Structure 1
Amino acid sequence: MHWRITLEAVDPIGDEYRKEFMTEKNLDGLADGKLGCSIDDGKAVMKEVQKIIIERQLDLWVRYCRVCPTCDGLLPIKDYNQRRILTIFGEIPVRYPRLMVCQKCNPACCFTFSPAADICKDRATPELLELSAKLGAKFSYREASEVLATFLPDQSARAFTTLRNRTLAIGKRIEEAERRKRWFEALNYPDRKQLALALAGDPAREFVFNVDTAHIPLVKQYGGRTFEAVVGHCGRGGRGGPPGPVFTFEGTKPRELKAVAALALKRQGYIDQGEITVISDGAECLKRLASMLPQPVTHMLDWFHISMKVQPIAQLAATVPKHMSSFEGRIERIRWRLWDGQAGRALSLIAKVRQDLSRETEPSIWARRADKLLETLQGYIRRNKGSVVNYAERYRDGKRASTGSSPDDL
Structure 2
Amino acid sequence: MKIVVRIELTTDWGDVNTIEVGRIDRPSQTLDPESVGLSLADGKQLLHNLQQAVIPAQADEICALRRICRRCHRWTALKDYRQRKVDTVFGTVSFRSPRIVSCACEPPWYLEAAFCPLWPIIPERATPELLALQAKLAAQMSYRRVVETMREFLPVSEKINHVTVRNRALRVGTRIDAIELAGVQPRNPTTEWTLAIDGGFVRRKGKAEVRSFEILTGRLAVPGEKPRVFACVRSELSDLTERLASLVQTHAGTPHPRLSVITDGANGIQSIYRQLPFGATPILDWFHISMRVRYLEQIVKGLPPRSETEQYTKRALQTYVNKLRWCFWHANVAKAEQRMRQISLLCRIVVPQTQQFARSLEQLAYRLDELFAYLESNHGSTIAYGKHYREHKPISTAMAESAVNQVVNARMCRRQHMRWTPRGAHLLVQVRCAVINGDLATRLAAYRARIDRVPEDVLRFLEFLQRAAEAEPHAF
Range of TM-score over shorter length: 0.7 to 0.9
1:261-410 alignment runs, 5 A limit: 261-266=248-253, 277-282=260-265, 283-288=269-274, 292-293=278-279, 298-322=281-305, 323=310, 324-325=313-314, 326-359=316-349, 364-396=358-390, 399-404=393-398
1:317-358 per-residue CA deviation (whole Å, 9 max, x = no partner) reads 222242231323322222222222111222232233223323
State the alpha-carbon separation in 1 of the partners of residues 11 and 391 from structure 2: 69
Asked if structure 2 preserves the Cα contact closer than 8 Å seen for 1:83 and 1:95, the reply is yes
Query: RCO (CA 8 Å, sep 6+): is it higher in 1 or 2?
Result: 2
Shift of 1:378: 0.7
State the alpha-carbon separation in 2 of the partners of residues 366 and 166 from structure 1: 57
Alignment-derived partner of residue 6 in structure 1: 6
Alignment-derived partner of residue 98 in structure 1: 99
Distance of aligned partners of 1:16 and 1:22 in 2 relative to their CA distance in 1, 3 Å threshold: same
One-letter amino acid of the counterpart of residue 247, structure 2? V
Report the 3-state secondary structure (helix = DSSP H, G, I; strand = E; otherwise coil) of the residue aligned with 1:6: strand
Distance of aligned partners of 1:174 and 1:104 in 2 relative to their CA distance in 1, 3 Å threshold: closer
Shift of 1:59: 0.6
One-letter amino acid of the counterpart of residue 255, structure 1? E
One-letter amino acid of the counterpart of residue 212, structure 1? I
Alignment-derived partner of residue 152 in structure 1: 154
State the TM-score, normalizing by the size of structure 2: 0.65
State the alpha-carbon separation in 2 of the partners of residues 127 and 163 from structure 1: 13
1:246-299 per-residue CA deviation (whole Å, 9 max, x = no partner) reads 332424633222222234445xxx9999x7644333444343378714xxx644
Asked if structure 2 preserves the Cα contact closer than 8 Å seen for 1:85 and 1:91, the reply is yes
State the alpha-carbon separation in 1 of the partners of residues 375 and 396 from structure 2: 16
| Ranges in structure 2 where 5+ consecutive residues have no aligned partner | 400-476
State the alpha-carbon separation in 2 of the partners of residues 157 and 44 from structure 1: 17
One-letter amino acid of the counterpart of residue 343, structure 2? V
State the alpha-carbon separation in 1 of the partners of residues 142 and 393 from structure 2: 40
Alignment-derived partner of residue 37 in structure 1: 38
Correspondence 1:121 to 2:123 = yes
Percentage of identical aligned residues = 26
State the TM-score, normalizing by the size of structure 1: 0.75
State the alpha-carbon separation in 2 of the partners of residues 227 and 404 from structure 1: 18
State the alpha-carbon separation in 2 of the partners of residues 403 and 100 from structure 1: 61
Report the 3-state secondary structure (helix = DSSP H, G, I; strand = E; otherwise coil) of the residue aligned with 1:80: strand
One-letter amino acid of the counterpart of residue 271, structure 2? C
State the alpha-carbon separation in 2 of the partners of residues 389 and 169 from structure 1: 43
State the alpha-carbon separation in 2 of the partners of residues 119 and 84 from structure 1: 13
Report the 3-state secondary structure (helix = DSSP H, G, I; strand = E; otherwise coil) of the residue aligned with 1:232: strand
State the alpha-carbon separation in 2 of the partners of residues 104 and 248 from structure 1: 49
Asked if structure 2 preserves the Cα contact closer than 8 Å seen for 1:280 and 1:302, the reply is yes
Report the 3-state secondary structure (helix = DSSP H, G, I; strand = E; otherwise coil) of the residue aligned with 2:328: helix
State the alpha-carbon separation in 2 of the partners of residues 84 and 222 from structure 1: 39
Distance of aligned partners of 1:122 and 1:271 in 2 relative to their CA distance in 1, 3 Å threshold: closer
How many residues of Structure 1 are paired with residues of Structure 2 in the alignment? Answer: 374
Correspondence 1:84 to 2:114 = no
Higher helix share: 2
Shift of 1:388: 2.2
1:148-187 alignment runs, 5 A limit: 148-178=150-180, 181=181
Shift of 1:399: 4.7
2:229 to 232, 247, 250: 247
1:99-139 per-residue CA deviation (whole Å, 9 max, x = no partner) reads 34447999x96753222222233322233333334444444
Report the 3-state secondary structure (helix = DSSP H, G, I; strand = E; otherwise coil) of the residue aligned with 1:292: coil
Alignment-derived partner of residue 49 in structure 2: 48
Asked if structure 2 preserves the Cα contact closer than 8 Å seen for 1:257 and 1:289, the reply is no
Shift of 1:377: 0.8
Report the 3-state secondary structure (helix = DSSP H, G, I; strand = E; otherwise coil) of the residue aligned with 1:231: strand
State the alpha-carbon separation in 1 of the partners of residues 389 and 93 from structure 2: 64
State the alpha-carbon separation in 1 of the partners of residues 332 and 131 from structure 2: 56
One-letter amino acid of the counterpart of residue 297, structure 2? A
Alignment-derived partner of residue 450 in structure 2: none
Asked if structure 1 preserves the Cα contact closer than 8 Å seen for 2:88 and 2:156, the reply is no
Distance of aligned partners of 1:55 and 1:145 in 2 relative to their CA distance in 1, 3 Å threshold: same
One-letter amino acid of the counterpart of residue 14, structure 2? G
Shift of 1:89: 1.8
Distance of aligned partners of 1:81 and 1:382 in 2 relative to their CA distance in 1, 3 Å threshold: same
Shift of 1:375: 1.2
State the alpha-carbon separation in 1 of the partners of residues 396 and 106 from structure 2: 72
Asked if structure 1 preserves the Cα contact closer than 8 Å seen for 2:195 and 2:259, the reply is no
Shift of 1:390: 2.6
1:203-250 per-residue CA deviation (whole Å, 9 max, x = no partner) reads xxx7351512315465244989845524134133xxxxx785133242
- Alpha-carbon RMSD across the aligned residues, in angstroms, is 4.0
